[in-house]
Copies of this chain bind each other. A is one copy, B any other.
Amino acid sequence: MKRVVTRSGDRAKGRLEAFSDGVFAIAITLLVLEIAVPQVSGDHLLEELLRERPTYLAYFIAFMTIGIAWIEHSALTEALDHVDSGFQRLNLLLLLLVGFLPFPTSVMSEYLSTVDDKQGGEQVAVAFFGVALFLISLVLLGLGRYAAREGLFGDDAAEEHTEESRIRYQLAPSLVLYAVAIVCGLFSPYLAVALYVLIGVFLLLPVQTLRRWLHRSD
């Protein structure tokens, strides 16, 4: 999309990026539709807006997760020299999961609410959400592996190396952490939610910028 391109594989990559950007952008923006407008009398509006905290939290985690997945996806495809038809299909699987995320988000925010007759479902709702996050990380990791094995990075060994360490130090640990969070959720749903937030923060760490700041303050 951003280079003078002469090979067909590279043009396919530009389309794949544009289509993926679209799906990520839409999924992340649709999340807000799940937040219901309060239907209470005007006097209790403030109270009601404050009571919807679990909804805001679910919105925030889901937004952060899709945002991270987009950043990872963006870093991966930029490092690639070209894409092949297998990569296109695996990418479609990632988009399927990303596009599906608003549903578990919405289930979780509904069943974390304080309304009485919904209580008792927190464990299931939180685990369901966690499984979706786990699968997104898994397919992202799979995309990177596939690209390396099929030689999609071209001759750019540096790019491939960066991707390798990103998988080793961020994506792979996150898989373990999500699994832990899901198991925790069976006992304490709110602990799991706290872990989802922490994993998100961990994945969001702008390693490159932080390192520059550390060096500067020397």
- A interface residues with partner B (beta carbon < 8 Å): 1-6, 8, 10-12, 14-19, 21-33, 35, 37-38, 41-46, 49, 59-60, 63-64, 67, 70-71, 74-75, 78, 84-86, 88-89, 92, 95-96, 99-100, 102-103, 106-107, 110-111, 117-122, 124-125, 128, 150, 204, 206-209, 212
**Given A23-B28, A84-B208, 6 new contacts (CB under 8 A):** A1-B1, A1-B18, A17-B18, A42-B118, A46-B121, A46-B124
Minimum CB–CB distance for A164 against chain B, Å: 17
> Is the pair B30, A25 in contact by a Cβ cutoff of 8 Å?
no
Minimum CB–CB distance for A4 against chain B, Å: 5
**A14-B2, A15-B21 known; A37 vs B102 contact (CB < 8 Å):** no
- When distances are taken between beta carbons in the complex, the residues of chain B under 8 Å from A207 are 85
- Which among A45, A86, A89, A117 has the greatest number of chain B C-beta atoms within 10 A? A45
- When distances are taken between beta carbons in the complex, the residues of chain B under 8 Å from A150 are 209
Q: Is the interface of A mostly helix, strand, loop or mixed?
A: helix
- Which among A37, A41, A70, A100 has the greatest number of chain B C-beta atoms within 10 A? A37
- When distances are taken between beta carbons in the complex, the residues of chain B under 8 Å from A67 are 92, 95-96
Tallying the copies of this chain within the complex gives 4
**Assembled-state Cα–Cα distance A111/B150 (Å):** 43
Q: List 17 A-B contacts (CB under 8 A).
A: A2-B11, A8-B78, A11-B78, A15-B17, A15-B78, A19-B24, A23-B29, A29-B30, A30-B32, A32-B99, A37-B106, A41-B118, A42-B124, A49-B124, A86-B208, A86-B209, A88-B206
- When distances are taken between beta carbons in the complex, the residues of chain B under 8 Å from A3 are 2, 4-6, 11
**Assembled-state Cα–Cα distance A63/B74 (Å):** 22
Q: Find the B residue at minimum CB distance from A93.
A: B67
**A2-B14, A28-B99, A42-B120 known; A19 vs B209 contact (CB < 8 Å):** no
